[in-house]
Structure 1
């Protein structure tokens, strides 16, 4: 099982983003959670997930924004599960707490904690992916999002009013294809660490 513990960065200097983030994440039908995000302390929220793809998708979105430190804990959780995440307990919760503390000073503000060496390997890949994503230009980001939605380069070119060659260049400069492959490896490593 996976626990995500997420802490808002520079929360004393910014407005509280926790409620809006929880609302959006808890109502995302494409990323189902075992237990929804719940505020655990002032500027912190926590959720439980079973699927590595869901964990990676949420963690990447939050970490890339630069507004959050994201900790992913892998391990057992105490059963039966409580009605709300805040009341949860077990190894995954403890590891998520440790991970979010590490994430505050980690590359890309993301960290993973689990008993398997695969947790550390997944962490290294996720940190790299966050740093790549943060360095993308707006133009590359625009083309990459459309590509991730399943559009072909020709369709993206028509939608953006640019040449297919320009789309290809934007996707290459943003390392979109490479990032997708690395993301898949990170998900596999998380799955392995959860066994």
Structure 2
């Protein structure tokens, strides 16, 4: 299983954003495979959800992590491993190594700068530690790339992401944005979107391998 524990950054001096992020998480996960227990508030300004360790859950975990890092207001801990079964109705009542690892991970993530505040904990065997480190490093790398993305870059990426991947997509994006196709191409190159798209499947695969049978 994959457990995501998400903690609000700087919450001591900020308003409670948990209700807002829960709405966002419900929207982001709507209709997606991989959810085992939905996200809910656990304690204080923290939320938690449980995902399958198979490919849909791993994909969802990566997508949610990157969305939360983009917000820059959250620290994300990813814990991978077994859980005690049967699972309760809500994640705050659940137990098992994946939950303990997610707790350790989010505590480490809190020490990192916004945009890269993610950590991953998996099985303690050498191979598990290596894979967890790889997933964590790649997520931090994409977080750093995204943190440098300009508003114009995000605008182009967001529009292109919502269009079917087929010939003419960039032209369609240019029409929607009211700019030239060349301008879209320049924005996408500067945003390093192609590089991000190439790395994402690698992260998902490594996270799924880290999860093992669930």
Fold match by TM threshold 0.5: yes
Structure 2-normalised TM-score?
0.88
* Cα offset, 1:153, TM superposition: 0.6
Aligned to 1:170: 187
Structure 1, residues 7-65: CA drift from partner, whole Å, max 9, x if none?
00001221111112113313531434210112111111110011101101111111121
Aligned to 1:102: 108
Root-mean-square deviation (CA, aligned residues, Å) is 1.2
Aligned to 1:136: 149
Aligned to 2:32: 31
* Cα offset, 1:174, TM superposition: 0.3
| Unmatched 5+ stretches in structure 2 | none
**Counterpart-to-counterpart distance in 2, 1:31 and 1:103:** 26
Number of paired residues? Answer: 195
* Cα offset, 1:3, TM superposition: 0.2
**Counterpart-to-counterpart distance in 2, 1:65 and 1:123:** 18
Aligned to 1:49: 51
Structure 1, residues 148-194: CA drift from partner, whole Å, max 9, x if none?
11251100111111111110000000000100111111111100101
Aligned to 1:59: 65
2:120 to 102, 107, 112: 112
**Counterpart-to-counterpart distance in 1, 2:201 and 2:108:** 23
SS of 2:79 mapped into structure 1: strand
Alignment of 1:5-20 (within 5 A): 5-20=5-20
Aligned to 1:181: 198
SS of 1:7 mapped into structure 2: strand
| Unmatched 5+ stretches in structure 1 | none
